[in-house]
Amino acid sequence: MREFKLPDVGEGVAEGELVSWLVEPGDTVSEDQPVAEVETDKALVEVPSPYNGTVAELRAEEGEMVPVGDVIITFNVEGEADAAEEASAETETEADADQAETADSSSTDSADAAADPESVDVPEGRVFAPPRVRKLAREQGVDISTVQGSGPGDRITEGDVEAAAGGSSDGGAESAEAAETAPAEPTEGTGGVDAAAGAHGETESGAGTGTGTGANASSAPSVESADRDRTLAAPATRRVAEEQGVDINAVPATEERDGEAFVTPEAVMEYAEAQQRAQEADAAAVATGETGPRETREPFKGVRKTIANAMERSKYTAPHVTHHDEVDVTKLVETRERLKPTAEEQGIRLTYMPFIMKAVVAALKEFPEMNAMIDDENQEIVHRNYYNIGVAAATDAGLMVPVVEDADHKGMLQLSSETDELVTKARERTISPDELRGSTFTITNIGGIGGEYATPILNYPEAGILAVGEIKRKPRVVTDDEGNESIEPRSVMTLSLSFDHRLIDGAEGAAFTNEVMQYLENPELLLLE
């Protein structure tokens, strides 16, 4: 038997959220085969097996926050027999033989219990299914508690889930109810763990902490919820909580072990039933014209908490100053429109971002302090002679900043292709931690949602971040070659530069912005870079 502890899947990470298991007990695995997906530091990473062998036991539940160094899985390595499993297999074989030879119902019940020890004293509503089958049920939108298992001891198989999914495809009331009650599954390009946590938290708080209005709401039963960061519970209890859609840290504890709260299956079921009653009361209030819960709550954790910690550190470490300006990008718009067909012939979607990146890199070379950083621990200014540009991307899981390395060595089409690929990977949750680190300056595009000006927070410890706004047609005074002035409609983009005032003076920040503007106003100058 070999234990495997959760490794540090990122630099200095203290814990990670086990998003999903890719194996189940009894599976044969090879060294370096992914066995689990863990989310940490905004990235979803696969954890590989260090052994050749078979999976003996999964020590953590999907959705559980696991500290680095805790055992998450055990293996039977090749050549080492697991006596316990062999004994269990022999017991099941004998039980099956007894069941076949015995005709009366009491003997049959006894044999079933021997074949599946978990079926003894099981709380009502308990469902037996391996992690892979539960994941399939979530993907198919099937409420696993309504599926009848056909495996040994009524265990649910993949075939059972697929049959249930096929039977509910006509869109009846049962299918709608299953879709509403199925646990949210982290999916590519969606909210991942955070989306799941948000939906999960809403279910809890809608029942436990929300307060309605009117007579119906005032008569709704209240649910007393705990608010713990850590809870001791047996794996079977955690499975019950997962099946019931209950946050085990919210279940009131009935016992203590080693000075920490310990939750039993009975406490989980009692809490789940109380939630259900409260939810039914809220639904009745909405059906009679009431507004339902006045507020809901969700756990503040995962990617959103990571972002919050980074923003807090940046805001309260580096004194921020933001410089705003407008730039006439009429020539840039014309240039891009002229080059788009050429880029499309090579399968590349040409956006404005590579032009902006090139302009920023050119300005960083003129103002190297903007590409520097302060090493607070060693009290040194670090001058960086490379240009790794971070591109802030809004995803359903939160703000991520993929990094285009050595942007000064890449052409316009390569920058466009690489940026698009990295942003897509960030939104699909397939980006690696290394692709989110090492930026020297960040660009964020607020124009994509119609914004003009902003006060962006530094991607600490960088010294600067540039927010570009939406390009809009605005009237501008234009002077021709002979000095004559006229008012014309022009394409105008806004710039908002935030910088670390410990390192960058206001005049230097304004001069840097003017340099960027010069290249955006005259994109042909980028050919000289």
Residues carrying an active site annotation: 501
Beta carbons of 423 and 448 less than 8 angstroms apart: no
Going by the DSSP 8-state scheme, the letter that residue 528 receives in this structure is G
Q: Can you give the three-state secondary structure of 152-212, one letter per residue? A: HHHCCCHHHHHHHHHHCCCCCHHHHHHHHHCCCCCCCCCCHHHHHHHHHHHHHHHHHCCCC
CA–CA dist 24, 37 (Å, integer)? 13
CA–CA dist 464, 499 (Å, integer)? 4
Beta carbons of 481 and 334 less than 8 angstroms apart: no
CB atoms within 10 A of CB 529: 11
- Tokens matching residue 3: 């234990």
CA–CA dist 49, 27 (Å, integer)? 12
Q: Is the peptide bond before 252 cis (omega within 30 degrees of 0)?
A: no
β-pair type (441-445, 389-395) = parallel
Identify the three-state secondary structure at position 56: strand
Beta carbons of 116 and 152 less than 8 angstroms apart: yes
Amino acid identity at 21: W
**Helix 192-208 vs helix 302-317: angle between axes, to the nearest 10 degrees?**
100
CA–CA dist 464, 441 (Å, integer)? 6
Question: How big, in percent rounded to 5, are the helix, strand and coil portions of the chain?
Answer: 40, 20, 35
**Alpha helices, H only, 318-411:** 330-345, 353-366
258 Cβ contact list (under 8 Å, min separation 6): 232
Beta carbons of 320 and 503 less than 8 angstroms apart: no
Is the C-alpha dihedral spanning 21, 26, 31, 33 positive or negative? Answer: negative
- Tokens matching residue 379: 């009290």
Going by the DSSP 8-state scheme, the letter that residue 466 receives in this structure is E
CB atoms within 10 A of CB 450: 9
Going by the DSSP 8-state scheme, the letter that residue 479 receives in this structure is E
- Tokens matching residue 505: 């003076």
CB atoms within 10 A of CB 173: 8
- For residue 5, what are the β-bridge partners? 71
Beta carbons of 516 and 360 less than 8 angstroms apart: yes
Q: Please report where in the chains the tokens 């869109």 appear, as a residue.
A: 171
